Chain A
């Protein structure tokens, strides 16, 4: 974390040097989702705070471009706006998962300029309050005995990040992830309903979407897929790491710029995001979105995005999901 802070400071300094060179005209945030989707809120709320804090002067407008968890927007940027200095595009871990599986067309993770993250949600493994599983070890033991006996259900498709989370647990336990019995639902809400209704055993959801049920004691968390324990209501939930399975799954939310965006605009946007991440008003807004701190801007984020995508690619190739 300390190195990333150092890098951030370096970015901020270089951004300050370039900041005079660039002022955005009609800035725009592209949300690769329909109004109401996760990316849409990322864009609209971040833009609001950027404008209210005065970090960005002219008001940022949100354009919706749904399709393929970012695939359509990714291709539209390459085709039509590859040098646009005034546009930023929302991205999340889910986009990298699909990018790694060749679902973004012919472009790779090196074809855009990764700006920075503004926060992260974390994957969790939830069970119903009266579940036979008390810890991650119980689940692993049952999976080793008979993978089909544990019914996993979540909002994503096979190969999506909701599938990847339990797949990594299986892999860490030495079980073939392809043997997992996975039920795909239309969104995390339906999967949570199926968990509470007792139809599925495990729900690999996100921390923000299970909080209400956790606080009410409807569900228990067997593990959070974070580096350290999460704060607040999640403090009682152990991480997977401390139970001996080093599985981490931050759902990072951030932005990228077009591939040929000028240096000055790249410096401007990374500088803005660094200042945003340091602003207490953003900390409040971030918590309201259900996000945790994830402070990573500029080269560090660039390296992170490429590393994650490469990891997902090898995992996908291992189970035969990559094209």
Chain B
């Protein structure tokens, strides 16, 4: 069942790639091959692989552990880029670490302490030592 679904997605992706390659607007032929050939072949491999999977699916058991924990890490990862500029590197990174630590079964207080420490250490390492400027928040840190 799962394999069939994966196969279908591959067929869709593969055909999408082939379609995209055919619709490329090539102003002029600078080389005899052109930019369409490779995406087309790759799309075909992907779609054929998908067909094979749909035709002869294997037995895949989807196993998820305590998936809400993974989801929490994922959501924190997705919000993090949006918080970097408004909050600054240290605060945003500390929040990411805090959420991550909680997902890995930490108690709130130690998690908060280690999150702040981690963020400060990384800031010093990248911004001060390696001279790669990182965003500073409203408080100038």
Residues of A within 8 A of B (CB): 28, 35, 61-64, 80, 158, 178, 180-183, 319-321
User: Does B63 make an interface contact (CB < 8 A)?
Assistant: no
Query: How many residues of chain B have a CB within 8 Å of chain A?
Result: 9
Complex: how many Å from CA A183 to CA B27?
A: 16
User: Does B30 make an interface contact (CB < 8 A)?
Assistant: yes
Give the 8 A-B CB pairs with smallest separation, nearest first: A320-B27, A178-B28, A158-B30, A61-B133, A63-B133, A182-B30, A321-B27, A320-B28
Given A61-B131, A181-B30, A182-B31, output 13 extra A-B contacts at Cβ < 8 Å: A28-B133, A61-B133, A62-B133, A64-B132, A158-B30, A178-B27, A178-B28, A178-B30, A180-B30, A181-B31, A182-B30, A320-B27, A321-B27
**A319: which of B28, B85, B131, B132 is its contact (CB, 8 Å)?**
B28
Q: Which residue of B lies closest to A321 (CB)?
A: B27
Q: Which residues of B from 112 to 129 have beta carbons under 8 Å from A?
A: none
Q: Which residues of B contact A319 (CB under 8 A)?
A: 27-28
Q: Which residues of B contact A64 (CB under 8 A)?
A: 132
A183, B31: Cβ atoms under 8 Å? yes
B106 to chain A, nearest CB (A): 34
Q: Which residue of A lies closest to B26 (CB)?
A: A320
B24 to chain A, nearest CB (A): 13
Q: Which residues of B contact A180 (CB under 8 A)?
A: 30
A223 to chain B, nearest CB (A): 22
Q: Which residues of A contact B133 (CB under 8 A)?
A: 28, 61-63
Complex: how many Å from CA A35 to CA B130?
A: 11
Complex: how many Å from CA A180 to CA B30?
A: 7
Q: Which residues of A contact B131 (CB under 8 A)?
A: 61-62
Complex: how many Å from CA A2 to CA B9?
A: 66
Complex: how many Å from CA A35 to CA B141?
A: 24
Q: Which residues of A contact B27 (CB under 8 A)?
A: 178, 319-321
Interface string of B18-51 (1 = CB under 8 A from A): 0000000001111100000000000000000000
A164 to chain B, nearest CB (A): 13
B62 to chain A, nearest CB (A): 37
A-B CB contact pairs (8 Å), 25 listed: A28-B133, A35-B132, A61-B131, A61-B133, A62-B131, A62-B133, A63-B133, A64-B132, A80-B85, A158-B30, A178-B27, A178-B28, A178-B29, A178-B30, A180-B30, A181-B30, A181-B31, A182-B30, A182-B31, A183-B31, A319-B27, A319-B28, A320-B27, A320-B28, A321-B27
Q: Which residue of A lies closest to B35 (CB)?
A: A158
Q: Which residue of B lies closest to A63 (CB)?
A: B133
Q: Which residues of B contact A321 (CB under 8 A)?
A: 27
B85 to chain A, nearest CB (A): 8
Complex: how many Å from CA A45 to CA B27?
A: 39
Q: Which residues of A contact B85 (CB under 8 A)?
A: 80
Complex: how many Å from CA A321 to CA B30?
A: 12
Q: Which residues of B contact A320 (CB under 8 A)?
A: 27-28
Q: Which residue of B lies closest to A158 (CB)?
A: B30
